[in-house]
Amino acid sequence: MNQVSARSSGRRTTPPRLRAALASIATGLVAVGTTVVLAASASAGTTLGAAAAETGRYFGTAVAVNRLSDSVYVGILNREFTSVTAENEMKWDATEPSPNQFTYASGDKLVSHAEAYGMRVRGHALAWHQQQPRWTAVLSGTALRNAMLNHVTQVATHYRGRIDAWNVVNEAFADGGSGGRRDSNLQRTGDDWIEAAFRAARAADPGAKLCYNDYNTDGQNPKSNGVYAMVRDFRARGVPIDCVGFQSHFTAQSPVPADYQANLQRFVDLGVEVQITELDIEGSGSSQADSYSRVVRACLAISRCTGITVSGIRDTDSWRSSATPLLFDGNGTRKPAYASTLDALNAGGTTVPPTTPPPTTPPPTTTPPPTTTPPPTTTPPPTTTPPPTTTPPPGDGDCATSVSLNSWSGGFVATVKVTAGPAGLDGWVVNLTLPSDATVTAVWSAQSTGTAGAVSFRSVSYNSAVGAGAGTEFGFQGTGSGPTGTATCARA
Ligand code: XIL
């Protein structure tokens, strides 16, 4: 494990807010003039966000946009937190109250606030069985699937380039011992609804990390085993998933599990990042403080546990306020859990690697928005009916490719399926030639050579092995028009 001390490691550029915090501490020391000893602890963060940033992580909170007019609330928000998640304002019922009529005012307000204060935004949530608009209740089958995909496409396109990570799908697995999917209107459109949602989200915003998010998945249990199997399958098949969110709602009956860290670790071992996304812990005093500390230490022990979000600011802001589960009391005063959380952050741990590994490498340098309006709900979004633009070439039998294209005026996303021949593959390379106006701006689940003309895409560690007759996928985005010719595939 990458047990690099946060204190001793060469780290990323110090974030501006942290620099400001450190500068103000330093200024304070000069003014006092006597406490040189404190200078040694000047790198300790004095706020949750600054302390987390010392390890390369964010510390976030859910925000109810209507509370941004509360000065106590917003004062704590701006002082302590470096990431925000909309508590309700980006959900389906809030953003698409009527079919294909989108309302972004509240969500936009939060994103603007975050940008003004240098905070990241976690988008929540594109597809979920709860908090759907009323009009989805009468839909099923293809109509509901297309409505869902259009929703994902439109909302992710609206926020393109402004979202650090999207909870693409929320709470799709059943509680209890089955380890299977939860029954829902979305699930009844077919088992592949989750991967279809992820593909649509990637096509709409290739720069955002795409996450699956759920609760009661915090320890190893049948439900988290089900999610684990899905993520492993997605990674093997090149379905674009970058992260898993663990809501981490804890109560006296359902405390922080003993294997919390081990469970996070096994997901990281699949090649995804993990984040703690809605942390709240019922209780008070030292027992609550100890539980918060355990959660923070577990995340900090894992270099690809990249951030922690609590599910609100004051206990009175909580969706379950009677549990007093947050870090500030109703007056906005820091609780013992605040102190233990800050201490745990300042104790350090692994440092988050500065660059995000595949499949989001390289991040797009330009993110061309579609110049045409995405399709309305009445017509399926392009990702639902990807016509192969190339037929599998005869090749030498090692492998075949098919390319599906989602294009708009000025840009495209290509999804390429590689199917292994009878001998299977231990590595593959796909070559194709782009039209003269095209430039590749982002690639996922492959390593690319060239951005114009003749380009090639090589398998990466987690998708190089493809069994006989099995398939894997990678994709790329570009400006100009998409590939039209034949893509060839060979063993590498
Ligand atoms: C909750 C909000 O906090 C409440 O304001 C709302 O009434 C219901 O939803 N899992 C999630 C969150 O993913 O979005 C939910 O938030 C809590 C459970």
Query: How far, in Å, are 84, 189, 202, 341, 446 from residue 59 at the CA level?
Result: 9, 36, 25, 10, 31
Banded pLDDT at 369 (limits 50, 70, 90):
very low
Instruction: Tell me what pLDDT residue 192 has.
Output: 97
More confident residue, 215 or 470: 215
Question: 128-142, 161-175, 212-226, 414-428: lowest mean pLDDT where?
Answer: 414-428
Per-residue pLDDT of 268-288, as tens digits, reads 999 999 999 999 999 999 999
89 is catalytic: no
Per-residue pLDDT of 173-184, as tens digits, reads 999 999 999 999
Question: 32-41, 164-173, 256-265, 415-424: lowest mean pLDDT where?
Answer: 32-41
SS3 content of the chain, % helix, strand, coil (to 5): 35, 25, 45
Q: Among residues 96, 195, 278, 282, which one is catalytic?
A: 278
- The per-residue pLDDT of the chain, averaged, comes to 85
pLDDT above 70: percentage of residues in the chain: 81
* Residue 7 to residue 55: CA distance in whole angstroms: 8
Q: Among residues 171, 273, 282, 473, which one is catalytic?
A: 171
115 is catalytic: no
Q: How far is CA 473 from the centre of its chain?
A: 20
Banded pLDDT at 147 (limits 50, 70, 90):
very high
pLDDT (average), residues 377-402: 54
Instruction: Tell me what pLDDT residue 55 has.
Output: 96
Q: Side-chain half-sphere of 430: how many Cα atoms within 13 Å?
A: 35
If 0-12 CB within 10 Å is exposed, 13-18 middle and 19+ buried, where does residue 74 land?
middle
Banded pLDDT at 408 (limits 50, 70, 90):
low
Query: Which atom of ligand 1 is least distant from the CA of 311?
Result: 3
Instruction: Tell me what pLDDT residue 409 has.
Output: 63
User: Does the pLDDT at position 28 exceed 60?
Assistant: no
Instruction: Tell me what pLDDT residue 14 has.
Output: 39
pLDDT (average), residues 305-321: 98
Residue nearest to atom 7 of ligand 1 (CA): 319
User: Does the pLDDT at position 476 exceed 90?
Assistant: no
User: Does the pLDDT at position 26 exceed 70?
Assistant: no
pLDDT (average), residues 101-129: 98
* CA 156 / ligand 1 centre spacing (Å): 20
Question: Which of 78, 23, 84, 5 has the alpha carbon at shortest distance from 47?
Answer: 78
For the ranges 351-360, 368-377, 463-472, the maximum mean pLDDT occurs at 463-472
* Residue 272 to residue 244: CA distance in whole angstroms: 7
Instruction: Tell me what pLDDT residue 462 has.
Output: 67
User: Does the pLDDT at position 371 exceed 70?
Assistant: no
Residue 481 CB less than 6 A away from ligand 1: no
pLDDT above 90: percentage of residues in the chain: 72
* Residue 418 to residue 178: CA distance in whole angstroms: 32
* Residue 307 to residue 48: CA distance in whole angstroms: 11
Beta-bridge mates of residue 309? 60
Banded pLDDT at 480 (limits 50, 70, 90):
confident
User: Does the pLDDT at position 385 exceed 80?
Assistant: no
Residue 88 CB less than 6 A away from ligand 1: yes
- Tell me 328's DSSP state: B
Query: How far, in Å, are 203, 350, 402, 428 from residue 486 at the CA level?
Result: 22, 45, 9, 16
Banded pLDDT at 43 (limits 50, 70, 90):
low
Whether 16 and 118 have beta carbons less than 8 Å apart is answered as yes
More confident residue, 450 or 361: 450
Which phi and psi angles does 234 have, rounded to 5°?
-60, -45
Residue nearest to atom 16 of ligand 1 (CA): 87
